[in-house]
Chains A and B, each alone.
Chain A
Amino acid sequence: MLRYTIYRVLQLIPVWLLLSMVVFAMIHALPGDAIDALVPADAASNPATRAALEKELGLDKPLYVQYAKWLERIVLHGDFGRSITTRRTISVEIFRRLPATVYLATTAVCVSLLIAIPLGTIAAVKRRTIVDYAATATALLGVSVPEFWLAILCILLFALHLGWLPASEYYSPFDNLRLSLLHMVLPAGSLGVRLAAITTRLTRSSMLDEIRKEYVDTARSLGLPERRVIYTYTLRNALIPTVTVAGLQFARLLGGTVVVETIFSWPGVGLTLYEAIMGRDYPMIQAAILILATTFVMMSLLVDLTYCWLNPRIRLG
């Protein structure tokens, strides 16, 4: 297991380098000079200051030197430079906002699992009955509705008309857990419902697979109560692919929360990336993409390793 882990971690390095190269090259691939992307328009209009800035930013050196220096700054010092729009240090900005997105993604995945596992299990156990069809239909409906529409509808329904939930602001769970969770329901729900649709189907089919296996019949013939057979043994095994997918969904979600963050004004990295792209704040765009992509890659690795650990047969493949 350890060997496999090391092998996978080593594989990570070329992937990350490739990522970083693409992110770095973005600025130089755009139309116009790189300097226009890196400093505000006012500063770069005067030819004298422009030349001075180019020298200061090292833009007169060959590309690979620039790349090396850029990489060095990031890896060794964690310095992503300054945002063009806000003039503040990028690393401070992004790392201040990362917790909000991670929190959103985590709760969304939890919500989806809370919905999907019971629903999928029941649908599998009572397949081809009305319950199954209802569960399938609900799951599919969840996937068919545009995200922003669902989010706004939920706000209008639950916050305004029913008054059950607040209109959502970000509160850190460490400051005030109750308030934080209360405000979390709508955003996490909007995201979670869609994930749940996929996970429900997956749980259902993997449960169906498991139920057909030999050990289930053996357990039954031993006289164990049906409920125990299903929930204790079968479910546990069937959940492995579900949890794996949930992990991947979480990783994907880190970059995919833009719409929900925009609607709820959630101070996360997705919104920052979106604003940065709209405002053509290239240093921030680079930093945000790199951080999100790195997180995704590491999360995928973690998920893969967990899956391997849970299911030794795969390891040798």
Chain B
Amino acid sequence: MAKATVPPTPHTPLGLDDFTEPALARRWTRVWNLLRNAAWELWRNRLATMGAVMVLIIFLVALLAPFIARYDPVKQNYREMLQGPSTAHYFGTDKFGRDIWSRVVWGAQRSVIISLLAVMVGLVCGVPLGTLSGFYGGKLDAVLMRVVDAWLAFPGILFYLIAATIIQAYKLSLFWNTVGLIIALGVAQTPAMARLVRGSVLGEREKEYVEASHVVGEGHFYIAFRQILPNCLSPVIIQATISLGVEMLVLAALSFLGLGAPPPTPDWGADLNLAREHMETLPYLAIFPGLAISFAVLGFNLFGDGLRDILDPRLAES
């Protein structure tokens, strides 16, 4: 990416020179240019911006759940069951008389936390694996890649199902249930992440600055993790963003298969599941949780695509 064209000021401690008028003017110009660049990028990638806004909304809702939910999401009241959207209940009530707006809002918190943590687990496991494999190459690479191949060959659904089986075998509390789910989701993602990183690292490895570092005598770990890896991060970030969306869909599918949150935890997938019996008659029951999921996933996808355009201009259209 082209840097600002202003010549760099000499490196001096913050002294009187930095507060001269021309110096300040140059600083402001630089900041202004950066902002203008960013705005131009955002405008060019309208979809990405939309994605970013959507992601922001979801995060905000998740964060502010306790304040914007109007009722206790698990409080039942069968006398108010299956009411349509109204001023009392923005999204209506479900078959137990619970307020759907509150459930969607708290569900956002659960979805966001689980997806984020799952992706992080995937990163924490996959990135080092891929980096080491790509960097050292040779035998280590061969062995690790075979492991990753085998890992990749297991049907994704399997990890979740097995996690659910174990969770049930030990009858774990909600907390450990969630932890187990996060680990399973993260583990399922690891091989793809590892492969991605390895590919990038293999590409970077041949570059000159790496050779230079070797010659100078820098340690392997330093070269691999402090020099090469930062340059390989763009595909990883993009993949991670899109994975966030994918994890949310997986969570919904798990609820459908009966493996989701233990009731009565507010969960988008679980609510969508409950709404199945009324799909024809009371579509609002399915629309709101469904829309929430789609909104979140779409946001992550758009944002990830946008990031791809920004970080990897090679792939962007001219």
Report A's interface with B, CB cutoff 8 A: 11, 14-16, 18-19, 22, 30-31, 127-128, 133, 136, 140-141, 143-149, 152-153, 156, 201, 205, 208, 212, 252, 254-256, 258-259, 262, 270, 273-274, 277, 280, 289, 292-294, 296-297, 300
Contacts and interface: CB of A to CB of B under 8 A. Distances in A.
A259 B269 CA distance: 13
Nearest to B290: A149
B156 A15 contact: no
B147 interface: yes
B279 interface: yes
B155 A289 contact: yes
A3 B109 CA distance: 53
B76 interface: no
Interface in B272-306: 272, 276, 279-280, 286, 290, 293-294, 297-298, 301-302, 305
B288 to A, nearest CB: 12
B253 interface: yes
Interface stretch (B24-32, B112-120, B122-130, B157-165): B157-165
Contacts of B318: 212
A20 B165 CA distance: 20
Given A136-B47, A149-B290, A297 B317 contact: no
Given A149-B290, A296-B153, A259 B253 contact: yes
Contacts of A254: 155
B153 A146 contact: no
Interface in B147-196: 147, 149-150, 152-158, 161-162, 165, 169-170
- Identify which of B256, B257, B297, B318 gathers the most chain A CB atoms within 10 Å of its CB: B256
B307 interface: no
Contact of B302 (A15, A140, A256): A140
Contacts of B286: 149
10 contacts: A18-B150, A140-B301, A146-B290, A146-B293, A252-B156, A254-B155, A256-B156, A273-B157, A292-B155, A296-B153
A148 B290 contact: no
- Identify which of A141, A145, A274, A294 gathers the most chain B CB atoms within 10 Å of its CB: A145
Tell me the dominant secondary structure on chain B's binding face: helix
Contact of B157 (A127, A201, A255, A296): A255
Given A141-B298, A144-B245, A259 B256 contact: yes
A205 B238 CA distance: 16
Contact of A146 (B156, B272, B298): B272
- Identify which of B149, B165, B253, B302 gathers the most chain A CB atoms within 10 Å of its CB: B149
Tell me the dominant secondary structure on chain A's binding face: helix
A296 to B, nearest CB: 5
Nearest to B269: A146
Contact of A18 (B147, B169, B170, B256): B147
Given A127-B317, A255-B156, A274-B257, A143 B290 contact: no
A200 B245 CA distance: 18
B315 interface: yes
Given A19-B154, A143-B245, A145-B290, 5 more contacts: A141-B294, A146-B253, A149-B252, A289-B158, A300-B149
B36 interface: no
Nearest to B294: A144
B252 A146 contact: yes
A122 to B, nearest CB: 14
Nearest to A255: B155
B290 A277 contact: no
A115 B140 CA distance: 41
A78 B217 CA distance: 55
B301 A15 contact: no
A225 B8 CA distance: 51
Contacts of B305: 140, 201
Contacts of A145: 290, 293-294
Contacts of A300: 149, 153
Contact of B256 (A128, A148, A273): A148
Contact of B165 (A127, A147, A280, A296): A280
B75 interface: no
Contacts of A31: 169-170
B146 interface: yes
A208 B317 contact: yes
A277 B154 contact: no
A30 B170 CA distance: 11
